Amino acid sequence: MRTRHIFLLFAWAAVAAAQPPRLRAGTVITRTVTLPPGRYALASEDAGHPALVIRGSNIDLDFSGVTLTGAWPTDGDPDRFTGLGVLVDGGENVTIRNLTVRGYKVGLLARHTTRLRITGSDFSYHWKARLYSLVEHESLVDWMSYHHNERDEWLDSGAGIYLADSDEAQIDATTIVQGQNGLLLARSNGARIWNNTFSFLSGIGIGLYRASRNTIMHNKVDWCVRGYSDGFYNRGQDSAGILVYEQSGRNVVAYNSVTHGGDGLFLWAGQSTMDTGQGGANDNVFYANDFSYAPANGLEATFSRNAFYGNRIDECWHGVWGGYSFDSWIASNRFANNVEGIAIEHGQDNRITDNTFDRDDTAVHLWRNPIQDPGWEYPKRRDTRSRDYDVSGNKFIRNKTALKIHDTQNVRLVNNTFTGVETIATLTGDTRNLGIGEEIRVPLRLRETIDVTLPRPLPGGLDAMLPDDSPLRNRRSIIVDEWGPYDWKSPKLWPEGRSDAVPFKLRVLGPAGEWKAASARGATIEPSSGRVPGSLTVTPSADPIVDIDLQLTYRGDRVTSPRGSVVAAGAPYTFGYSRYFVPVDWQIQWFAFDPSSSPDKDAEAFARLLKGSPVKTERQNRLDFISGGELTAGVPRDRVAAVATGQVTLPPGAYSLRTISDDGIRVWVDDALVIDRWSVHESIVDTALLAAGAHRLRVEYFEATGFAEFRVEIVKGDTRR
> Do 549 and 654 lie in a common domain?
no
DSSP codes joined into one string, 557-611: S-EE-TTS-EE-TTS-EEEEEEEEE----EEEEEEE--GGG-TTT-HHHHHHHHH
What integer pLDDT is reported at residue 8 of this predicted model? 33
**pLDDT (mean) for 498-526:** 97
Residue 14 has pLDDT above 60, yes or no: no
| 493 & 593 share domain | no
Last residue of a domain, one of 581, 615, 639: 581
Q: What is the CATH number of the domain that holds 615?
A: 2.60.120.260
Same structural domain for residues 414 and 393? yes
Rounded-to-10 torsion of CA 612, 680, 180, 99: -140
Res. 20 pLDDT band, cuts 50 70 90: low
pLDDT digits (tens, 9 = 90+) for 373-402: 888 999 999 999 999 999 999 999 999 999
pLDDT at 720: 73
Phi/psi at 584 (nearest 5 deg)? -125, 135
pLDDT above 60 for 443: no
Q: Is 111 domain-assigned?
A: no
Q: What's 85-132 look like in SS3? A: EEEEECCECEEEEEEEEECCCEEEEEECCECCEEECCECCCCCCCCCC
Residue 148 is which amino acid?
Answer: H
- 468 Cβ neighbours under 8 A, 6+ residues apart: none
Which pLDDT value is given to residue 452? Answer: 74
The 3 state secondary structure assigned to 630-672 is CCCCCCCCCCEEEEEEEEEEECCCCEEEEEEEECCEEEEECCE
Task: Give the number of other Cβ atoms within 10 Å of residue 19's Cβ.
Answer: 9
CATH number at residue 495: 2.60.40
Same domain, 439 and 332: yes
Q: What is the pLDDT of residues 265-320, one digit of tens each?
A: 999 999 999 999 999 999 999 999 999 999 999 999 999 999 999 999 999 999 99
Q: For residues 158 and 136, is the Cβ–Cβ distance under 8 A?
A: no
Q: Give the separation between CA 370 and CA 601, rounded to whole angstroms.
A: 35
Structure confidence by residue, pLDDT tens digits, 339-363: 999 999 999 999 999 999 999 999 9
| Contact between residue 590 and residue 699 where contact means Cβ atoms under 8 Å apart | no
Spell 37-59 as b/e; 16+ CB within 10 A means b: eeebbbbbeebeebbbbbbbeeb
| 497: Cα within 13 Å, side-chain hemisphere | 10
Give the N- to C-terminal CA distance of the chain in Å, as an integer: 64
pLDDT at 10: 35
In a domain, 194, yes or no: no
* 576 and 694 housed in the same domain: no
For 218-276, the pLDDT digits (tens) are 999 999 999 999 999 999 999 999 999 999 999 999 999 999 999 999 999 999 999 99
Q: Does residue 453 lie within any of the structural domains? A: no
Phi-psi region of 298 (alpha: psi -120 to 50; beta: other; left: phi over 0): alpha
Nearest residue to 220 via CA among 206, 231, 203: 206
The whole-angstrom separation of Cα 320 and Cα 247 is: 20
Pairing of strands 395-397, 417-419: parallel
To the nearest whole number, what is the mean pLDDT of the chain? 93
Query: In the structure, what pLDDT confidence band is assigned to residue 18 with cuts at 50, 70 and 90?
Result: very low
Output the pTM of the full model: 0.94
What does each C-alpha distance from 171 to 190, 270, 403 come to in angstroms? 12, 26, 42
Rounded-to-integer distance, Cα 221 and Cα 209, Å: 18
Question: Tell me, what's the pLDDT at 439?
Answer: 57
Confidence band of 19 (pLDDT split at 50, 70, 90):
low
Find the domain containing 500 and state its range: 489-581
Q: Does the pLDDT of residue 619 top 50, yes or no?
A: yes
Kindly tell me if the per-residue pLDDT of 211 is higher than 60.
yes
Bridge partners (DSSP) listed for residue 201: 224
Contacts for 62 with CB less than 8 Å, ≥ 6 apart: 34, 35, 97, 98
pLDDT digits (tens, 9 = 90+) for 690-713: 999 999 999 999 999 999 999 999
pLDDT > 50? residue 446 = no
**Distance from C-alpha of 430 to C-alpha of 456, rounded to nearest angstrom:** 43
For residues 348 and 414, state if they share a domain.
yes
Q: Phi and psi (nearest 5°) for 276? A: -120, -20
Using the predicted structure, report yes or no on whether residue 6 has a pLDDT greater than 60.
Answer: no
Would you say residue 436 lies in a domain? yes
| Domain assignment present for 244 | no
Q: How many domains does the chain have?
A: 3
Answer whether residue 391 is part of any domain: yes
| Confidence category of residue 4, pLDDT binned at 50, 70, 90 | very low
Q: Among 541, 564, 581, which residue terminates a domain?
A: 581
> How far apart are the C-alpha atoms of 538 and 505, rounded to whole Å?
6
Distances (CA, A) of 676 to 51, 246, 611, 669: 38, 37, 21, 12
Q: What pLDDT does residue 427 have?
A: 96
- Same structural domain, 609 and 680: yes
Tell me the pLDDT band of 518, cut-offs 50, 70 and 90: very high
Count of other CB atoms within 10 angstroms of residue 617: 10
Query: Do 142 and 709 form a contact (C-beta atoms < 8 A)?
Result: no
Q: What is the pLDDT of residue 1?
A: 41
Q: Is the model's pLDDT at 15 over the cut of 60? A: no
Residues 508 and 590 in one domain: no
pLDDT number for residue 721 = 63
Q: Does some domain include residue 29?
A: no
Residue type, 18: A
pLDDT tens for residues 624-647? Answer: 999 999 999 999 999 999 999 999
Q: Which residues pair with 626 in a beta bridge?
A: 709
pLDDT average, residue stretch 108-121: 98
In this structure, are 633 and 680 located in the same domain? Answer: yes
Same domain, 341 and 440: yes
Is residue 493 in a domain? yes
Check pLDDT > 70 for residue 2. no
| pLDDT on residue 450 | 55
655 and 558 within one domain? no
Could you give the CA distance from residue 91 to residue 424 in angstroms, rounded to a whole number? Answer: 60
Interatomic CA distance for residues 491 and 475, integer angstroms: 19
Last residue of a domain, one of 581, 603, 637: 581
With vertex at residue 437, the alpha carbon angle to CA 434 and CA 440, rounded to the nearest 5 degrees, is 45
In this predicted model, what pLDDT tens digit does every residue of 42-84 receive, in sequence order? 999 999 999 999 999 999 999 999 999 997 787 889 999 999 9
Same domain as 710, residue 666? yes
Residue 441: exposed, middle, or buried by beta-carbon count in 10 A (0-12, 13-18, 19+)?
A: exposed
